Structure 1
Amino acid sequence: MIGLLASVPASVPVQPGREAAQDLLLDELAKQEYQEARPGLISRCLDWLFDQFNRIDVSGGGSARPWVTAAVLIVVLLVLGLALWLAGGLRRTARGEKQVVLDDGSLTTAAQQRADAERAAAAGEWEVAVVARFRAVALSLEERAVIAALPGRTAHEVAVTGGESLPDLARDLVAAADVFDRVRYGHRPAGEAEYAAVRDLDDRVGRARVGVGGSAVAGGFEVPV
């Protein structure tokens, strides 16, 4: 917000009139950061803010006292600056959230995740089964030292890193990561076909040998979109 007030040109009168103050506010709102923040709190408040400018009046004079106009302008800029800062913080938070594969912080193994996946599949809980089976894929890659065991990896980070050592499975790893993200974070439904594809990939990862050029068992990853 300090930067917001600092952006007010030095040539602007200390006590601007109502029209000058409104022009200054319009110039400020035209900046890219405000446009990117719309629609939202700023957009919803614009009509109200300008209405307040139009109501600033002296008794029958038709023009606002300079100090009143200046005070209102400062308050408006502070409010807009706060709203912009909050909106930017929310966007940064949203961008900063990592859609990690293992998000509960618990210790688990690939075998445990496979068992969970099979139980869920037997109960027809396909979304739970898909998530658990992809976690088994990620943990299997770590346990076999195909990728380093690093906390906080996203599904696509697992897929890309694993595909570097298992190039024959690179595309299928990315496809499985897409399914995982759609189900786990996009809350999309899954079915037996999706689970079967991730289960097949898990089996092939377990059989694959790491080497120059890779030697993963051939086979495609195909699930309904």
Structure 2
Amino acid sequence: MRRYLAHDTAPLQLWWTDLDTMPPPPGAEATLSADERARAARFVREVHRRRFTAAHVALRELLAQHTGRAAAELQFTGGPFGKPALRGQPTCAFNMSHSDELAVYAVAAHGDIGVDVERLREMPDTDMLARHNFTPAEQDQLGRAPASARALTFLYGWTRKEACLKAIGCGLQVDPYTFEVGLGPDRRDVSVVSPDGPVMVEVESFCDGDRAVVSWARVKPALPEPTHSA
């Protein structure tokens, strides 16, 4: 029920689901934990409850495929800033994001990864948002984008920064204004100063037709300290 987003050279797998047209089968919500069901029940609007349930059922089904465990048996834990992880499954890293009816999932055998998706839409407030979240060079790049591509250009930068921060797992402890990701789809290494020190993050983006922008990020392993012979 999910389509693989083909990125053959990416160090992770990306999947997406349409939460409105690909709903979970009847009874699938029974695989959710009591906490997940309680979170779904707190939504005021039925459409938001339904999408939350569908997104988390799909996540459990996907992770069950990767771990060989039953979807209902999977247990989640949170990092210091709330980033979810699978309890007792060190060889399965994941992250998820949703925008309206679209949900995107990233899965890898190991490492710290992040993913972000945003629906393409009219955005009259890009300049204001950029002033608070983009570096001066990125603001200049956005300002030079033609009006027809302004929203797409902005969302490349926005989702790339979100994916990087989610990969690091530091929440809002890092100001997105302080690191540069570029406003295009290219894969690049980004230097970010996290609460634990500087890290290098690999990030890449793509546009899913005229529907959404997706960015993934992965914290690159630290290089070993050089050894010095006497």
Task: Give the structure with the larger strand fraction.
Answer: 2
Decide: shared fold, TM above 0.5: no
The alignment's TM-score, normalised by the length of structure 2, stands at 0.24
Rg bigger for which structure? 1
Task: Give the structure with the larger helix fraction.
Answer: 1
